[in-house]
Amino acid sequence: AGDIASRTVISRLSAVADMSSAFAFRRAVRNALFKANGDLQALANNEFLDTVGSTVVALIAHGGHYACTWAGDSRAYILRDATLTRITTDHSVAQQLVDAGAESEAGARSRQDASIITRAVGACSKLELDGVYGRIQQGDRFLLCSDGLVAAISEAEIAADLGRTPTAYAASRLVDLALKHGVSDNVTAIVVEAAAG
């Protein structure tokens, strides 16, 4: 069911047309995700399935700004001046425990229920998405990735590798590193760099 959910999300996002600003594009992406949510809810009802869902993280860059929208524990980072900063917050039981001060990040990740996500496209009738905006600087690198990557590689390792690997090879190198670390989850990564102009 996860493959169907992912394909549905990708199909809806692929239909989003180019817009005049990052903000307009983000609105169009949100609308596409709401439609995907409806598609997945209908599929689950028609097929008598409990849930057909997918996490999502989408980044839009336009006119010197970026907008990021997400649901679930797929992440987005920005590498700027050799500093890696997470720009998303996981929608997960582990993150809720960290936010409440009940667990450290390491402690929350080691819990049996750590991988339970609290939001996903298709998980419930009303999709809740989070979003952030920011300014882009030349040379910024953005990493969008599944939770499998950060389960296998520390953020410090990610930052070091992103800083020394050419953009065209950075995503595949990070996935290879995760696989070498013996990751048990699916691993997906995309890396893009802001260019001049």
Q: What is the full per-residue pLDDT of the chain (197 aa) written as tens digits?
A: 677 899 999 999 998 876 777 778 888 999 999 999 999 999 888 876 777 789 999 998 888 899 999 999 999 999 999 999 999 999 989 888 888 988 888 888 788 887 799 999 999 999 999 999 999 999 999 999 998 898 899 999 999 999 999 999 999 999 999 999 988 778 999 999 988 65
Place of tokens 């692929």: 14
Return d(Cα 150, Cα 115) in angstroms, integer.
12
pLDDT digits (tens, 9 = 90+) for 89-106: 999 898 888 889 888 888
Q: How far apart are CA 195 and CA 174, in angstroms?
A: 21
Chain mean pLDDT for the chain:
90
Residues 4-44 have pLDDT tens digits of: 899 999 999 998 876 777 778 888 999 999 999 999 999 88
Q: CA-CA distance, 56 to 43, in Å (whole number)?
A: 18
DSSP string, 22-73: HHHHHHHHHHHHHHHHHHHHHHHHHTT-S---B-EEEEEEETTEEEEEEESS
